[in-house]
């Protein structure tokens, strides 16, 4: 089965700096990846996704990078703001026909004003 791990459980950054959150997955057949943001007491909120036929995808202030060779995924947040403080999860689909999202444990991002 799939397993998803995070490199750091917590991350503190200064307001205005860039944040990088990393994620590793185990199944080379995984074909779709999502980053979610979860604020305290709320459900996960979709941030950005990427398919396995891409290496990079950009959104507003966020970029996701996918390295299939080493099965590594990262989320970059530019000019981090206090409102970005939350727990960030990567979630992975395990291949064609699978509808299960496998989540990592999450990285708690704290933004220092």
Partner 1 sequence: NAGVMQNPRHLVRRRGQEARLRCSPMKGHSHVYWYRQLPEEGLKFMVYLQKENIIDESGMPKERFSAEFPKEGPSILRIQQVVRGDSAAYFCASSQNGAYEQFFGPGTRLTVL
Residue ranges in contact with partner 1 by CB under 8 A: 4, 32, 34, 36, 41-46, 49, 89, 91, 93, 99-106
DSSP-derived pairing of the beta strands 107-112 and 10-14: parallel
For tokens 């307001």, what's the residue? Answer: 15
User: With respect to partner 1, which residue has the nearer C-beta, 97 or 113?
Assistant: 97
User: With respect to partner 1, which residue has the nearer C-beta, 32 or 76?
Assistant: 32
CB of 24 to partner 1, least distance (A): 13
């Amino acid at each position: 089965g799939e397993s998803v791990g995070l490199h750091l459980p917590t991350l503190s950054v200064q307001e205005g700096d860039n944040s990088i959150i990393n994620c590793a997955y185990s199944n080379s057949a995984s074909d779709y990846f999502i980053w979610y943001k979860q604020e305290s007491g709320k459900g996960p909120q979709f941030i950005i996704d990427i398919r396995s036929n891409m290496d990079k995808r950009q959104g507003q202030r966020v970029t996701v990078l996918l390295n299939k060779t080493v099965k590594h995924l990262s989320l970059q947040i530019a000019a981090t703001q206090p409102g970005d403080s939350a727990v960030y999860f990567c979630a992975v689909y395990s291949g064609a026909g699978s509808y299960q999202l496998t989540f990592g444990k999450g990285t708690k991002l704290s933004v220092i004003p």
